């Protein structure tokens, strides 16, 4: 299994640099301390289904991550299975514009009731959920990510973290390009102004 701590640290490093260049971004850089085995078991009991091995490993290191990505938090043991987050997930997948239509548009059989939300923002514009109907030989659940009305699927939680890293690095490159352009403009302006004054 991919080293989850390493993936988390890579994502944090990218987001730290994003905040340096774009301090207005709403990004949380500090995951919560790890959860106890009892807390993880209690969350699974509340959910009525086992969590995938990778997310349980994540919880042992980090019991959730506030505002991890695009304002969405990765849920810790206290929030997993919470009815409010489940309703957020159902509302998102029930919407006509859902990017995963087979999971629940009004015109098709609603199969979204079995997804397990593990990340959401308060506006329900960003949603991360496990799909237990697709399970790997290692017991990993497929991940469905809905980010700003774009739907994406990944085979597992580690693969999902790699997706977040890719998206963060893409955003970071955009901020770096903008800052390079601003630096070039600021360097060129004094010379241009001097030529005009002459």
Question: What tokens appear for 197 in the block?
Answer: 């004054």
Q: Which residues of the chain have pLDDT under 50?
A: 96-99, 101, 104-110, 193-194, 198
Instruction: Tell me the per-residue pLDDT of 8-60, one tens digit each, with 9 for 90 and over.
Output: 999 999 999 988 988 888 888 889 999 999 999 999 999 999 999 999 999 99
Query: Residue 10 has what pLDDT?
Result: 95
Query: Residue 5 has what pLDDT?
Result: 92
Catalogue all structural domains in the chain, each as residue range(s) with its CATH number: 4-184 (3.40.1580.10)
The model carries a pTM of 0.80
CA distance 90 to 84: 10
Query: Residue 105 has what pLDDT?
Result: 44
Query: Residue 78 has what pLDDT?
Result: 95
Contact 165/7 with Cβ under 8 angstroms? yes
Query: Residue 106 has what pLDDT?
Result: 44
Closest CA to 90 of 39, 137, 82, 140: 82
CA distance 99 to 58: 27
Query: Residue 65 has what pLDDT?
Result: 95
């Amino acid at each position: 299994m991919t080293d989850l701590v390493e993936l988390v640290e890579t994502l944090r490093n990218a987001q730290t640099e994003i905040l340096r260049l774009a301090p207005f971004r709403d990004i949380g850089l500090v995951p919560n301390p790890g959860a106890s085995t009892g807390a993880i078991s209690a969350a699974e009991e509340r959910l009525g289904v086992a969590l995938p091995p990778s997310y349980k490993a994540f919880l042992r290191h980090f019991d959730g991550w506030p505002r991890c990505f695009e304002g969405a938090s990765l849920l810790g043991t206290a929030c997993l299975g919470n009815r409010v987050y489940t309703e957020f997930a159902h509302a998102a997948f029930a919407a006509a514009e859902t990017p995963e239509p087979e999971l629940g548009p009004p015109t098709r059989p609603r199969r979204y009731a079995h997804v397990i939300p593990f990340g959401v923002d308060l506006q329900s514009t960003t949603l991360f959920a496990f799909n237990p109907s697709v399970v790997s030989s290692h017991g990993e659940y497929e991940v469905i990510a809905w980010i700003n009305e774009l739907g994406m699927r990944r085979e597992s939680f580690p693969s999902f973290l790699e997706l977040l890293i890719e998206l963060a690095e893409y955003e970071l490159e955009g901020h770096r390009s903008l800052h390079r352009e601003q630096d070039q403009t600021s360097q060129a302006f004094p010379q241009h102004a001097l030529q005009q004054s002459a």
